[in-house]
Amino acid sequence: MDLRQMEYLVALADERQFTRAAELMGISQSGLSAAIRSLEDELGTALFTRTTRRVEPTEAGFALLPYARMMLEQAAGARDAVVKASRAVSGSLSIGAEQCLGLIEVSPLLDRFHRRHPQVETMFTQCGSHDLIGMVRAGELDVAFVA
């Protein structure tokens, strides 16, 4: 069993017609029929009863359907997780703030940033505004909060 067969199984069960299910899946009717037949051969049982106009899931087909849907949902979730992980922000961020601002004002911002981007290492420096501006210009800090 593979995910493509599960997609075909669900589409055919939902549409109840090979022609519409094949169109939905973007394959030929004969291709869909062959894939379903292959799945039935692998499982050793018919998954659909076929008439000239419609198909209906058999008891075995109905038994497999919730698992097929779950497999497709889990595969979509896995794809989403991989995409999210590949887009994760990482690296380091050097932040400075004037001593008069202190951690009281900057700390909630740092906490929120770290929750959203746990892969980013943050470094915090406190000193006077002239020193902070010089550190930003020198590339020692990425950003500084000054009044």
Q: What is the pLDDT of residues 62-88, one digit of tens each?
A: 999 999 999 999 999 999 888 887 777
Could you give the CA distance from residue 42 to residue 111 in angstroms, rounded to a whole number? 53
What is the model's pLDDT at position 112? 86
The CATH code of the domain at 3-85 is 1.10.10.10
Structural Rg of the chain based on CA atoms: 29
Q: What is the pLDDT of residue 88?
A: 72
Question: Does position 125 have pLDDT exceeding 60, yes or no?
Answer: yes
User: Could you give the residue range(s) of every CATH 3.40.190.10 domain in the chain?
Assistant: 91-145
> Quick one: tokens of 135?
């550190």
Contact in structure between 38 and 110 (CB atoms under 8 Å): no
The CATH architecture assigned to 91-145 reads 3-Layer(aba) Sandwich (3.40)
Residue carrying the six token digits 């493509």: 4
Q: How confident is the model at residue 103 (pLDDT cuts 50, 70, 90)?
A: low
Where do you find CATH 1.10.10.10 in the chain?
3-85
Match 């922000």 to its residue by tokens: 89
The Cα 5–Cα 75 span in angstroms is 13
> What sections of 29-58 are H helices per DSSP?
29-43
Are 46 and 62 spatial neighbours (Cβ–Cβ below 8 Å)?
Answer: no
Report the DSSP beta bridge partners of residue 49. 56
